[in-house]
Amino acid sequence: MARNGLLIQYEWCTGCHACEVACKQEHNYPAGVCGIKVVEVVNAGQDKVFVDFAPFTTRFCDLCADRTKSGEEPTCVKHCQATCITYGTVAALAKEQEKMPRSSLFAPK
C-alpha cells in the first residue's frame, strides 16, 4: 500500500500553533505530547534578522487515521491558518515538492 505523508511548505508557516492544538484536540494528547511541533528559527544576517518557523511531525503523528479513513483530511491540514500543509501519498507529494521551495516532506508512519 502506498505510504502517506505530509508536505509542509514551511516558507508560509507563521508559528500560530493551530496545528499543534488541533492535533492535541483530535487525539486528546496529554501535556508534553503532540503529533506535530513548531519551532521558531531565527537567523541573524549582517543587515537583516530572519524569522521563520519549522513544523515537524513526531512519533505521535498517526496522520489522523480515523479522519482519513472517513475521507476527511488530517486536522492539522484543515486548520493550518497559513494553509501550508498538504496530505497525500509520499510519491505524489514528492512530485509536488519538486516545484516547492522551502518545504519538507514527512512520512511519519
Partner 1 sequence: MAKSTDQKILSTLWSAGCGSHGGCGCEIFVKDGKVTRIEGDKNHPWNQGRLCAKGLAITQYIYHKDRVLYPLKRVGERGEGKWQRISWEEAYGTIETRLKDIRAKHGAESVIFCQGTGRDIGGPITFLMYAYGSPNWVQVGLAGHACYTPRLGAMAATLGPSGYCVADCSQFLEERYESKEWTPPKYIIIWAQNFTAGCHDGFYGHWIVDCMKRGTKLISIDPRSTWWTTRSEIHLQNRPGTDGATALGMLNVIINENLYDKKFVEKWCYGFEELRKRVQEYPPEKVEQITGVPAHLLRQAAKLYATSKPSAIQWGEPVDAMPAGSVVSQAITLLWCITGNVDNPGGNVIARNSHGVTTYPFSSAELSELYGVDLVKRLNEKRIGANDYPMIKGFRGWVQPDVLINQMETGKPYPVKGAWIQTSNIIGGQAADPRRHYNAMKKLDFIVCVDLFQTPTTMALADIFLPAVSIAEKESFRTWWQPLGVSVKAIDALGECKSDWEINLEMAKRLATTPIKYNNVRELIDSRLAAGNTNFEKLKAKGGWEFPPKGHPSRPYYRYEKGLLRKDGKPGFETPTGKCELYSKTFEEWGLDPLPYYEEPKESPIATPDLSKKYPFILTTGRRSPVFFHSELRMIPWLRELDPWPVAEINDKAAASLGIENNDWVYVENMHGKIKVKAKVTPTAPANVVTVPHGWWLPETDGKAPNFFSTWDHNVNNLTTMGNQGKSGFGGTNYRSGLCRLVKIQGGKE
Asked if 79 is part of the footprint of partner 1 (rule: CB under 8 A), the reply reads yes
Footprint (CB under 8 A) of partner 1, residues 89-108: none
**How, if at all, do strands 104-106 and 4-8 pair?**
antiparallel
The count of chain residues that interact with partner 1, using the rule CB under 8 A, is 33
Asked if 62 is part of the footprint of partner 1 (rule: CB under 8 A), the reply reads no
- Cell 549582517, located at residue: 46
Whether 90 and 5 have beta carbons less than 8 Å apart is answered as: yes
Give every CB contact of residue 71 below 8 A, 6+ residues apart in sequence: none
Options 28-36, 54-62, 85-93, 98-106: segment touching partner 1 (CB under 8 A)? 28-36
- Of 51 and 91, which CB lies nearer to partner 1 in the complex structure? 51
CB burial readout 24-56, b (16+ within 10 A) else e: bebbeeeeeebbbbbeeeeeeeeeeeeebbebe
Closest approach of partner 1 to the CB of residue 28, in Å: 7
Asked if 61 is part of the footprint of partner 1 (rule: CB under 8 A), the reply reads no
- Of 17 and 104, which CB lies nearer to partner 1 in the complex structure? 17
Asked if 85 is part of the footprint of partner 1 (rule: CB under 8 A), the reply reads no
